[in-house]
Amino acid sequence: MSRAASDYDESDVRIRPNRRGSRPRSKNRPAHEDALPGMVLGVDRGRYHVRVAAGVGGDTRGERIVTAMRARELGRKGIVVGDRVALVGDTGGGPDALARIVRVEPRTSVLRRTADDTDPVERVIVANADQLCVVVALADPAPTPRLVDRCLVAAYDAGMDPLLVLTKSDLTPPDDFLATYAPLEVPVVVTATTGGGFSGLDDLRDRLRGRVSVLVGHSGVGKSTLVNALVPDALRATGRVNAVTGRGRHTSSSAIALELPDAEGWVVDTPGVRSFGLAHVSVDRIIDHFPDLAAGTAECPRGCTHDEPDCALDAYVSSGAAGPAGPARLESLRRLLRARSGGSPED
């Protein structure tokens, strides 16, 4: 059986003499011009589940999930949920079809999981997401501010916008929590399941629209309840993504991307992720998110941690230069700076 041109990958090109003579492949011409673009929805034991949209790259087939493996030419480069990739080979998406990922497009963001005892390497868990939804129950279980702070730092570091999703407001009103977080000016959505209804869900949908959002939170905060309300066929969609192994979302330890109805965006559920590697996060990455305070660091000693007696920010905010919210903002900034280190990774 003859292979279609799209079946050849970089390694073929290298070992075969060029049919048109010795002219080398142009550096500017991307390999696999006719490869199909797709988005990685799930990863499982070296197999990638890639969503290929209908009608991309002149392709006339409908939307489908294609199982793929990495092409040898990619080397050890990681491929994670959210990655935009290019596929060649059998991209039909049938039960036995196996395509090859020949390219991973540059990422717009990377969210990292912390190293732990069983895995000393910090790993990227989701690529290209633009919003980190920190799901916190107002009660049962009680909020863990330290975890919330760590999530906010992770979002800032990853280049993602944070969103606080406060669940179970039927059990405890959000006022105390909101007071603590108001100086950070992070958007908040408050939800509750009450008497068969689900308040706050429309606000949440508005916030998710048109974005790729990662949901993180402690066990029991109501993340599955949210996902099931947002993506009515979440279980089915997850089943499709996990069809190869038959694993369901509750036993999967890796992230899974689920599309919101009417193609209104994506939510990435991260069942096993409760901690982030933050030790590497620089002070500057965090200060960037406090533009009102950034100017005040000009007078700081070199290498200032902004959490030490000589820090110029104290004088800056007392002078009123950062406005009336300055002192509370500085206090919040320092809390986030401290959240980077110490504590157990599950905090």
Residues that bind Zn ion (CB under 5 A): 300, 304, 306, 311
Among 10, 59, 90, 170, binds ligand GTP (CB under 6 A): 170
Q: How near is the Cβ of 290 to Zn ion at its closest, in Å?
A: 12
**Mask: binding to ligand GTP, 202-221, rule CB under 6 A, as x and -?**
---------------x-xxx
Residue 344, classified by CB atoms within 10 Å of its CB into exposed (0-12), middle (13-18) or buried (19+), is exposed
Q: Which stretch binds ligand GTP (CB under 6 A): 47-55, 166-174, 253-261, 327-335?
A: 166-174
Among 32, 150, 168, 289, binds ligand GTP (CB under 6 A): 168
Q: Which is nearer to ligand GTP, 103 or 223 (CB)?
A: 223
**191: annotated binding-site residue?**
no
Is residue 172 part of the contact set for ligand GTP (CB under 6 A)?
Answer: no
Partner from ligand GTP, Zn ion, none binding residue 224, C-beta < 5-8 Å depending on class = ligand GTP
Partner from Zn ion, ligand GTP, none binding residue 192, C-beta < 5-8 Å depending on class = ligand GTP
Is residue 223 part of the contact set for ligand GTP (CB under 6 A)?
Answer: yes
Partner from ligand GTP, Zn ion, none binding residue 300, C-beta < 5-8 Å depending on class = Zn ion
Is residue 329 part of the contact set for ligand GTP (CB under 6 A)?
Answer: no
Partner from Zn ion, ligand GTP, none binding residue 225, C-beta < 5-8 Å depending on class = ligand GTP
Q: What is the C-alpha to C-alpha distance for residues 195 and 44, in angstroms, rounded to an integer?
A: 38
Q: 51, 164, 161, 184: which is closest to 111 by C-alpha?
A: 161
Partner from ligand GTP, Zn ion, none binding residue 306, C-beta < 5-8 Å depending on class = Zn ion
Among 171, 179, 263, 279, binds ligand GTP (CB under 6 A): 171
**221: annotated binding-site residue?**
yes
Is residue 222 part of the contact set for ligand GTP (CB under 6 A)?
Answer: yes
**151: annotated binding-site residue?**
no
Q: Which is nearer to ligand GTP, 70 or 207 (CB)?
A: 207
Partner from ligand GTP, Zn ion, none binding residue 168, C-beta < 5-8 Å depending on class = ligand GTP
**197: annotated binding-site residue?**
no
Question: Do residues 238 and 227 lie in contact, with contact meaning Cβ atoms separated by under 8 Å?
Answer: no
Q: What is the C-alpha to C-alpha distance for residues 70 and 106, in angstroms, rounded to an integer?
A: 16
Residues binding ligand GTP (CB under 6 A): 167-168, 170-171, 191-193, 217, 219-225
User: Which segments are annotated as binding site?
Assistant: 167-170, 217-225, 300, 304, 306, 311
